[in-house]
Amino acid sequence: MKKTHPALVIFLFFLGWVFMYADRNILSPVMGSIGEEWNLDKSQLGLMATVFFAAYAFMQIPTGFLADKFGRVKVLVIGFIVFGVGTYLSGASTTFGIFLMMRALTGLGEGTYYGSQYGISSTITPKKYRGLVAALINSGMAFGISLGFMSSSYFTYSLNKGWQFPFYVFAIPTIIIGILIALFVRDDSHKQKKQAVHVQEKVEMKKIFTKNHIFVYILIFCSLYGFFGMLTWLPYYLQTARDIEASQTGIISSLVPWASIPGAILFGFLSDRIKSKKPLIIGLALAGAICQFAIPYTDNYSFLIVGLCMYGLLGKLALDPVLISYMADITPQSMYSRVYGFFNFSGMLSSIFAPYITGYFADKTGSLEFGFYLAGGLLIIGAVLFMFTNDKNKSEEKPLNTIGMLKKEETVVE
């Protein structure tokens, strides 16, 4: 069968992230309305996001193995359609308990995307363009965050459609994108995998947990803790702590993802052209931490806007493509889906805790500011630990040489 043009694959994966992040972020602007309807406290509001991210994180590691074995496209598409259905059913929920179950279903479906998608895109992308391509695909996250925030606020508060309406609206195009990926994206890497040897498979597993990999896992955990804490609580924080109209919080919150688009493309481009990505990664992590401290610290509205824009420009969404490219550099190609599964699992562990912990301390202290400061502190810890990575990629971390292995006939799997 004729291969799909890489540009079309990149565009479809970009759209995948648009609706992944739109669907998950239509919740944040309407948390107050949901809380009023079901009489929820802040901890319970945080639990809505925690349940979703727990299911999402749970799927990362098994998805990576299933995708490498049975086919990345098959696993991705099935999950994508499930999460579209889960989004629709979230809006149709009539009780808080049912709503939590539907958010968990949505998380399980979305959990098949990350490892499968970056496994395919990293395979078809030449090394010298990996950072840039990852940034272009990742920019879909920014569009999705903004689309989710703004549409949810607009439908719910400006048009008075109710908090359920955005879930219905976004479910349909989500399912359509899943079908388009099934029709136009091809990946035969799992067929090549069948030619590998058992002994090599065991050796390769160690390459998921080199020192460099482990410190990246820690850094992405710290980075995503602040990011998802902010995504979950920022609109609510702007409404309650900064007295900003609910209909405007979606627009202001969207400053973060919009500012991230040029930042991600710029730093992804630079990462492809510099000898060592290490200084860039550390610098972006520290810059993100400073922004996390500055946003709640300032009382000035203009400084708040600047802080949000700078976090978008230098924070998690700018750091992601550089880390994704770095992981591809130190990982055998045959293990991309698995290593990206562990990579995203490490980051998404933080998303399980961040929404609930932020809400918990808000209930205890009466303020959401502590959550921002905690996120900034964790990011500094992650940056410091990353300083201990090796600056050079070792030769044993090169992609798998299937042809060479096939010469060992006594160990070949038929």
* Both structure tokens of 323: 């880390």
Q: What is the pLDDT of residues 76-111, one digit of tens each?
A: 999 999 999 999 999 999 999 999 999 999 999 999
What confidence score (pLDDT) does residue 305 get?
86
**Residue 237 banded pLDDT, cuts 50, 70, 90:** confident
CB 327 within 8 A of CB 343: yes
Q: What is the pLDDT of residues 141-189, one digit of tens each?
A: 888 988 888 899 889 988 999 999 999 999 999 999 999 999 998 876 5
* Counted domains in the chain: 1
In a domain, 158, yes or no: yes
**Residue 191 banded pLDDT, cuts 50, 70, 90:** low
Q: What is the pLDDT of residues 273-329, one digit of tens each?
A: 888 889 999 999 999 999 888 888 877 888 888 888 898 888 887 898 889 888 888
In a domain, 261, yes or no: yes
What confidence score (pLDDT) does residue 297 get?
83
Q: Which domain holds residue 154?
A: 6-411
d(CA 56, CA 58): 5
In a domain, 1, yes or no: no
In a domain, 27, yes or no: yes
Q: For residue 47, what is the domain's CATH number?
A: 1.20.1250.20
Residue 7, classified by CB atoms within 10 Å of its CB into exposed (0-12), middle (13-18) or buried (19+), is exposed
* Both structure tokens of 83: 């999460």
What confidence score (pLDDT) does residue 409 get?
35
Residue 1, classified by CB atoms within 10 Å of its CB into exposed (0-12), middle (13-18) or buried (19+), is exposed
Beta bridge partners of 82: none
387 vs 356, which has greater pLDDT? 387
Q: What is the pLDDT of residues 332-361, one digit of tens each?
A: 777 777 788 788 888 888 877 887 788 888
Q: For the chain, count helices (H), then strands (E).
A: 20, 0
In a domain, 246, yes or no: yes
Q: What is the pLDDT of residues 254-285, one digit of tens each?
A: 788 788 888 888 888 888 888 888 999 999 99
- Mean pLDDT value across residues 204-221: 84
Q: What is the pTM of this model?
A: 0.72
CB 174 within 8 A of CB 91: no
Q: What ranges in 154-277 are assigned the alpha helix state H?
A: 165-184, 189-193, 198-205, 211-240, 246-253, 255-271
- Mean pLDDT value across residues 63-72: 78
